[in-house]
Amino acid sequence: MIIQSATYLISSPEYTKCPKPDRPEYAFIGRSNVGKSSLINMLCDNQKLAKTSSAPGKTQLINHFDIKSYPQAHVGGTLKPDAWYLVDLPGYGFAKVSQSQRKQWEKMIENYLRKRENLISVFVLIDSRHSPQKLDLDFIDQLGEWEVPFCLAFTKADKETQKIVSKNVKDFLDAMRKTWQFLPQSFVTSADKKMGRDKMLQFIETCNSE
Ligand code: GTP
Ligand code: MG
């Protein structure tokens, strides 16, 4: 897939305020600081698109990005690009927010995930440096109860050896097997090294054309 353009559209405090659901949509979710905004920037090849920060809790609203893409290299011609949305969501598990803020976050995310009709798949981001975390596994089980389609993106793979990353990925998938009969598609990524970009874009392209 070739990204023709990627532009920030709008930040919404709830799903009812999101743009008209007239095209496929993919949302990025995961713990605070796991690398959601960085991965969106890497996929779009634009470091300034989604705001990133070394301090957790940077992203607080439902952020829509308008993407136009072509299936492959395309010179001139009349081919219309595919239009779709990428969505950057706030992270979960951020220790510094109050109980009431957390409740508000949970309601906003639950409503968005369960009611957004054009949501094709959620990318759940997991930090590849760590062994399986209960918070992530519980969140995934919740998605299952809500019947929200998702896949996994293991992040920051440049920060550990390949051996450790592979073990953490395997352990995570093994932990999932306890409650899941089928495992989702998963990607190993690094925003710094552009690892996983082609595979993720290929996945999105396939979903877009179905
Ligand atoms: P919140 O919006 O606060 O929930 O965070 P986020 O999940 O959007 O994380 P963000 O993309 O802002 O990245 C958090 C920090 O991790 C930043 O300092 C990034 O530079 C760093 N980071 C993200 N992805 C990678 C990666 O693949 N490799 C390395 N080395 N650092 C990364
Ligand atoms: Mg962010």
pLDDT tens digit string along 115-151? 999 999 999 999 999 999 999 999 999 999 999 999 9
Q: Cβ(33) to ligand 1 under 6 A?
A: yes
The mean of the pLDDT values for the chain is 93
- Domain spans of the chain, in order of start: 2-208
> Which ligand number lies closest to the CA of residue 29?
1
pLDDT at 92: 81
Collapsing DSSP states into helix, strand and coil, what is residue 198? helix
Please determine, for residue 77, whether its predicted confidence score (pLDDT) is greater than 70.
no
Q: Domain 2-208 adopts which CATH fold? A: Rossmann fold (3.40.50)
Please determine, for residue 82, whether its predicted confidence score (pLDDT) is greater than 80.
yes
Please determine, for residue 21, whether its predicted confidence score (pLDDT) is greater than 90.
yes
Extract long-range pairs of 193-201: CB within 8 Å, 24+ residues apart. Answer: 193/157, 193/158, 194/42, 195/157, 195/158, 196/153, 196/157, 197/42, 197/43, 200/43, 200/123, 200/153, 201/1, 201/3, 201/43, 201/69
Residues 25, 18 contacting (CB under 8 angstroms): no
Please determine, for residue 164, whether its predicted confidence score (pLDDT) is greater than 90.
yes
**Torsion 167-169-171-174 (CA) sign:** negative
Q: Cβ(156) to ligand 1 under 6 A?
A: yes
**How confident is the model over 33-46, as a mean pLDDT?**
95
Rounded to the nearest angstrom, the distance between the alpha carbon of 115 and the centre of ligand 2 is 22
Q: Which helix (H) or strand (E) holds 203?
A: helix 197-208
Q: Atom 5 in ligand 1: which residue has the minimum CA distance?
A: 33
User: Comparing 20 with 93, which gets the higher pLDDT?
Assistant: 20
Statement: the pTM of the whole predicted model exceeds 0.90? yes
Determine the distance from the C-alpha atom of residue 27 to the mean position of all C-alpha atoms in its chain, rounded to a whole number: 5
* Closest ligand 1 atom, residue 58 Cα: 3
**How confident is the model over 50-67, as a mean pLDDT?**
84
ipTM tops the 0.85 cut: yes
Rounded to the nearest angstrom, the distance between the alpha carbon of 190 and the centre of ligand 1 is 10
Please determine, for residue 54, whether its predicted confidence score (pLDDT) is greater than 90.
no
